[in-house]
Amino acid sequence: MGTNREERLNFRSQLWDRCELKEWEMNKLVWMSGLAVAAFTAGSAQGAVQVCTGNCTPFNENVLITTNDTAAATVFGITNTTGVDVFFTTEQAAGLKGPSNGAARVEGATENSLTSLIFMLEAGYSFTAAQWNLVDPDPNSGVTVSIAYFTPETAWPNALALGNGENRMGIYGTNNERFTGVKLTINGGTINDLRQLRFNGVGLTPVVDPRNPVPEPATWALLIAGFATVGMAMRRRKTAVAFA
């Protein structure tokens, strides 16, 4: 009996020694699991906003100005298909004018004085792409525009150079991004006006429950790859147990 009990205890001890992972190995697996979860979290928060020049974005409706040629803090417009209100504001004390009732054209209170412009859709609405035209920078060289988009306000990292005459540009997303507005800041000079504002994908802003976001395909790929790596690491460390 004594011999059998000792053999059983010895067998259990050998089994535990062979199957036990060392502390550093366990830490490694925990770290790798954390990496997979971190990849899942980071991937779901990333976007792919693009600012471009030229006729570079899709659009399916124009903006029409609905106010007259009088300087004011806000110029009002409307999208010609969906009928959503558009608001133009500025950080300039003199305000803005909408000189042509109908066509989308907004300028400073005086000629060639525009240095700041923000356009926003009415509350609850957003768009997937926008395109606009900045006209007649003064002077004709060395003028740039800095772009920020909403919501929340996020600055595009690079200012765009403006040339003489027309300067078409736009913003869009490649990962289902939606925007509520755009802020334009003119550096090193002024422009005469913004015109030909066009939108794509205007509609109600979807409400996403932050407690249950829908993962993107790239996020799923990162998560699966992370857990696959953990599984392979565990399999490599698995020790076969021989029974006498």
Q: Which residues contact 177 (CB under 8 A, 6 or more apart)?
A: 47, 48, 49, 128
Give me 113's structure tokens. 């004085």
Give me 226's structure tokens. 């992370």
* Helix (H/G/I), strand (E/B), else coil: 33: helix
For range 170-186, the mean pLDDT: 96
Tens of pLDDT, residue by residue over 206-215, are: 876 555 555 5
Residue 3 gets which letter from DSSP?
H
CA dihedral 215, 220, 223, 228 (to 10 degrees): 160
Q: Which CATH class is domain 54-204?
A: mainly beta
| Helix and strand counts by DSSP (H, E) for the chain | 3, 16
Tens of pLDDT, residue by residue over 116-144, are: 999 999 999 999 999 999 999 999 889 99
Tens of pLDDT, residue by residue over 71-80, are: 999 999 999 9
- CA angle 40-45-46, nearest 5°? 105
Percent above pLDDT 90 for the chain: 60
* pLDDT above 70 for 147: yes
pLDDT band at 36 (very low <50, low <70, confident <90, very high): very low
